[in-house]
Every structure is written in structure tokens, then in C-alpha cells.
Structure 1
Amino acid sequence: MAERIRIKDIAERAGVSVGTVDRVLHDRPNVSKPAREKVEQALKEMNYQPNMYASALAYNKAYTFYLLIPKHESEAYWEEIEEGARKCEDQRRDFHIDVEIRFFERSNEDSFKAVSQEILDANPEGVIIVPSSLEVTRGFTDQLHQKGIPFILLDSYMPDLRPLSFYGQDSFCSGYFAAKMLMMLAGNEKEVMLMRQTKDGHVVSKQQDNREVGFRHYMHDHFPQIVINVLDLPLNGTRNEYQKMLGQYFDEHPATHHCITMTSKAHIVGDYLLKSNRRDVQIMGYDMVDKNAKCLREGSISFLIAQHAYMQGYYCVDTLFRAIVLKKKVNPVNYMPIELLMKENIDFYRRTQI
């Protein structure tokens, strides 16, 4: 075990007082340039490694981090993000970490602007952001940069915004992977259905959009003969609306036996298939939320791609903690694993382990 280096040892090595060493270690004023250089040289020669945890605890400062995510249903992917963030907050309670969660309407840019302004007015130590559109999000992050407030992007990566870090899947690779898995089952089909959730005909999630790009890239290169029929379901539609639209689609496309969606709402199609007793159709989707898991176990969903939402929430808060409280360098890009779940292995998936 390495010998503990005391402040007294550093002072003797540098030929300065203990108080001078303490001021240098804590970057306080009233230290002459020659004295600071002597202390820094002594630290280098002695290979001094400060105990950042002890220093942070001794500092006894409170830190407020904000998490800005879309409004969501109780069983949605975002709830796991919240749970992970709360877990990290609890584990770092000795450092006075407080996580405030705020919600915006994903299909409403004015909602994002209003909530982001509230966060700016609170002047927090750090922010975690699920982005809106690039330009609207830029308006928020530019002000964070001006205020010197570090932020992390969650779910959708926008490198032009210069975040401290990013957590999420590589969306293009994820969509490419999804197509490859789907075609292991549907390679002999003439058509497949791509279900999207849209507002005014547009996909509102950059991640969903990038997944579709990856999906189409694979299909173009390997299965150009297969027709991709797009079914757009309204983002805030009702169950009855979904059932009616799906019924109409399958009446008009009896040759469709495989469907895919780039969202966590595969269960919308899965529920329809179970209620209509359509056993000749399979769907593939994202995220091990409860409704999807139920359809997977009952056979209307064939595959789910998991991305450890709980871990994303946890790691985002922990990264702000390490960067802001412990003053440590953090990885700028953190891609989550692309994991394939089936009926046979879903019960072994642990979404809440850290």
C-alpha cells in the first residue's frame, strides 16, 4: 500500500509553510508565484495524488443538477431514466447532490423553450438534456455555455452543441442491426411494415429518425427488392385510433407478416395482433418496458432491442458528479450496448443493476 503523503511532508519538501501548501492544493489566492512553483514542483516529485472524494466532502457544497426529459406514460422508457438518475442521487447524497427533473412536451418546441428557460433561471451546476430539434436545443445550450454550466446530452447525440458528454445508443448502427435481425426472419417476404409515431407527418425524435436511416441503409444494400410500407401513427393518438388504423392497414396489406418500429411502442401493434388473433404477423421494436415485455412473452413481438435506460439515467448524473464535484475528466461519447431480447432470455435481463 502506498504511503500517505501529508501536507507537512509537501511543505518540508518545498520549503514553504503548511498554510501555503493548503492554499495551493485548494487553488486559493494569496500565494506568490515562486511559492506556488515550489509547491507544484514538490507535488510532481512526490507523485502526489489528491483524495478528491475527501476534498469534496470537506468542501460541503450543495450541487443541483437538472434532468430535462419528455413527458411520458408511467410505463415508458423515460421512467427508467428517472429511476437511474434517482439511484445515483441517492448514492451520492453525502455530497449534497440534488437532481431536479423537469418535463417538456416532445412534440411542442415552445414547451421545451419554456422549461429550459426555467432551468436557466435556476442557475444549476449541471444539466442533462434530452434534445428537441437541433436549433431549439442550440438556443438552450448556447446559453448554458455562456453561463459556464456543463451539460450532458441523453438519447440523441448532437456533437455541434459541444456537450460535456453523451449517453445513448449509436442510432444508425442500432437501426442497421435491427434490420439485419429482422431479415433473419423476413428475408423471403415481399414487404414489411415500418410503424412510426409522428406529428403532422414528421418524426419528432432525432434518435428514431437516425435509426430509420440505418435500417433503410441495410435494406437498400441487402434486400432492395422488399417493399417497406410506412404506417404513421399520431404521436398522441388514442387506442381506438390505433386499432382502427392498424386494422385498415392489414386489410389493405394481407402480405405483410413482419413489422418493425424504431420506438418503444411496439406494443401498440403487439396488442392489436393479440386482440385480432393474428398469429401470422410478428413485430420487432425497442426497449424492455412492461407492455413490450408482455407482448414478447405472449408471442406478438419477436425481438426487442434494449439499451439500458436505467443505466443511462444513472451514468448521466454520475458523470456530472465526477466532472463538477470531483473535477475529473469524463468520456465525451458513451454508447450504450445494443442488446437483443427474445422470449427465451427476457427474464434474465437486468435493467436495474449498476
Structure 2
Amino acid sequence: MEKIYTIKDIAELAGVSKGTVDRVLHKRGKVSQDALDRVNEVLDKIDYQPNLMARSLKKTQIYSICVLLPDSQNDPYWQPCIDGINEAKKEFKSFNVKVEIFLFDATSTASFVETNKAVLNASPDAVLLVPLFHKEAIDAIETYNSKGIISSIFNNQLKSSSIKSFVGQDLFQSGRIAARLLDLLLQKGTIAIIHIDEDYENAIHMQEKEKGFRDYFDQLENRAFEIKTFKVKHPQFKTTLKEYLESNPTISGLFVTTSKAYQVAKIIAKNPERKIALVGYDLLENNLEYLNNKTIDFLIHQNPKRQAYLGTTNLIEHFIFEKEITAEKLLPIDIINTENAKDYFL
């Protein structure tokens, strides 16, 4: 078995006292340069790893992490995120860390702003948030940074020097994959990118998916596609989309940039003689229903539970184990069809 070195072993190898080794390991107190060099030389040779578990149990400070994300009552996509956060809380419940969830209305920038104020009033050590609204998210993150609060994000990526980490997918590449799928299904024709219920100008995640989608077709040597964009909101969603499809009879493919592909599928399913290929996102129950009846051809799985879990544990382990926060964690982009959908629920 590989030898486990104690402070006493290290002291004997370095020719110093146990107290000197302790001061070097915990970076406290005064140590001569000669003693420091000798201890570090021994540590390098034996590849010494501190017992992080024991170190964390000695801590008395309770760290606070606030997680801010949309309310799943309004959009079921976010429930797996809440499950992932709760899984992380359960896993580390014996440690001195408190994780609190704050929910906002995904359709309201005002709700997002007010919820961030509530988080700020809680004075956490770190915040993990879904930056659904670009401008307001940047403002909130800058405020947290000014207060010395660590800011991490998941699901949607933003560019800011104040952001400590991001967990999610490459949304540009995700858009390219959706384009590739529709290219394989159609070979030619008119495709519409459908954005539902969000302010496109303030929604970077939608913009990145569309950029990637268009980039794929722009690079085709023999381009035989026309790409359109259609933005639609409730409550006139059904009527407006139906009229749009009727007035554009050449559309043979649709790319829905959010988890609401089922809302589009419900409309096109009523006109089965007009076959329209459909690619969307996420393994919602309603989406799976239309995937199984072949109205939706493919779903791109964003794995929201895993995103939220990793984002939360990244911060927890930083506080209790002194681990460096991973700056970026990109998850695989999974393509789901009727043949493999069941594998994600085993």
C-alpha cells in the first residue's frame, strides 16, 4: 500500500519540528526561508495531499450560497434544476454550508431584479444564478462583485470578468447541431427559427443558438435552404403561429430554441398532411409525447439537473475543501430521438 505521511514523518524527513511543518501546511506563523524550502522539498517528493475532509470538519464558519433561477411553476424545464440543487444540498448536509433557493418569474425582468435584491439582502458568500436577462444579470453580478460576493452562472453564458464560473453547454454549437439535424432531414427548403415568449434582444441564449444555426447553413457549399426567424409570444401564440405557417407554405422545417417545442408540435400535428420537420430542446413530458408520435423529430438534451448540481457543488467544495472554482464546465450536447429517449429515464 502507498504510505500515508503524517506531519511527524514530514518533520523527520525535513529535519524540522512538527510545529514548523504545521505552520507551512496551514500558512500561518513565521517560518525561516531555509525551513520553508526544506519542508516544501519533502512535500514535492512525497506528493503530499492534505486531508481535506478533516480540515473542513475543523471549520466553524457557516458559508451561505444563494441559487437564483426561474420558478418551475411557470416552466417545468426548471424543476430538474431544483432537483439538482437539492441533491447537492443533501450530499453536503453534514458540512458548514447553507444553500438557499430563490425563484423568479422567467417572463418578468422586474421579478428578476427584485429577487436579486432579496438575495443581496441575505448577504451570501456566493451566488449561483441563471442570467436569463442579459442586461439585468450583468448589473446584478457587478453589484455582487462590488460586495465581495462570488458570482457563478449556469444554463446561459455571459461574458463578464466578474463571473467566477459557468456550467452549461456551448449554445452556439448547440444551434449548429440543430441545423445539421434539419439538414439531414430535409436536404433543401425553408426553415423557420422559432423564439417563444422571451425578449430576444435581451436573451443571449436565444441569440447564440440562432447564430450557430445560421452559421452552419452559411458554410454549406451548395446552400439549398432559406432561413427565417419568427418571434412569438402568448396569449396570441396559437393563432399567430398558425397564421404564420399558413402564410409561409414553403416552410418544411422548424427549430424551436427553447423547451417549448411541444407548443409548436401541438399546432402542426393538427395538419398531418403537411409534414414539417421539428427540432427542439429538453426532455419535458409534453415534448416526449410529441417525440414518440413522430411530430417532433429530435430533442437536444441540455441536462438542466446536472448543470445545477455541478454549479452548486463547485461552490460548496470551494468553501469546505478550499478547491479552486472551475472557471468553465461544458456539458455534452445529447441528441434524443424515439430510439434512445427511454435510456435517459432508467
- What is the CA–CA distance in structure 2 between the aligned matches of 1:348 and 1:231, rounded to whole Å? 33
Kindly indicate whether residue 83 of structure 2 is the aligned counterpart of residue 79 of structure 1: no
Kindly indicate whether residue 305 of structure 2 is the aligned counterpart of residue 310 of structure 1: yes
Q: Could you state the TM-score of these two structures normalised by the residue count of structure 1?
A: 0.86
- What is the CA–CA distance in structure 1 between the aligned matches of 2:251 and 2:49, rounded to whole Å? 63
**Unpaired runs of 5+ in structure 1?**
none
The 3 A distance-change label for structure 1 pair 146 and 299 is: same
CA contact (8 A) 1:20 1:35 kept: no
1:1-354 map, 5 Å: 1-14=1-14, 17-28=17-28, 30-33=29-32, 37=36, 39-40=39-40, 42-44=42-44, 46-73=46-73, 76-189=76-189, 191-199=190-198, 202-222=200-220, 224-234=223-233, 237-238=234-235, 241-277=236-272, 280-350=275-345
CA contact (8 A) 1:305 1:341 kept: yes
CA contact (8 A) 2:155 2:304 kept: no
Amino acid at match of 1:334: K
Identity percentage of aligned residues = 28
- What is the CA–CA distance in structure 2 between the aligned matches of 1:39 and 1:90, rounded to whole Å? 38
CA contact (8 A) 1:141 1:161 kept: no
Residue 331 of structure 1 and its aligned partner are, at CA, apart by 3.1
Residue 225 of structure 1 and its aligned partner are, at CA, apart by 4.5
CA contact (8 A) 1:57 1:94 kept: no
Amino acid at match of 1:144: Y
The 3 A distance-change label for structure 1 pair 289 and 203 is: farther
1:59 aligned counterpart, secondary structure:
coil
> Cα RMSD between the aligned structures?
2.6
Amino acid at match of 1:294: E
Q: Deviations over 1:199-221 (max 9, x none)?
A: 56x35421111000111112223
The 3 A distance-change label for structure 1 pair 318 and 194 is: same
2:128 aligned counterpart, secondary structure:
strand
**Unpaired runs of 5+ in structure 2?**
none
Q: Deviations over 1:84-131 (max 9, x none)?
A: 111111111122333211123344333333222222222222221211
| Aligned residue pairs, count | 344
- What is the CA–CA distance in structure 2 between the aligned matches of 1:298 and 1:204, rounded to whole Å? 34
Structure 1 runs of 4+ with >6 Å offset? none
Q: Could you state the TM-score of these two structures normalised by the residue count of structure 2?
A: 0.88
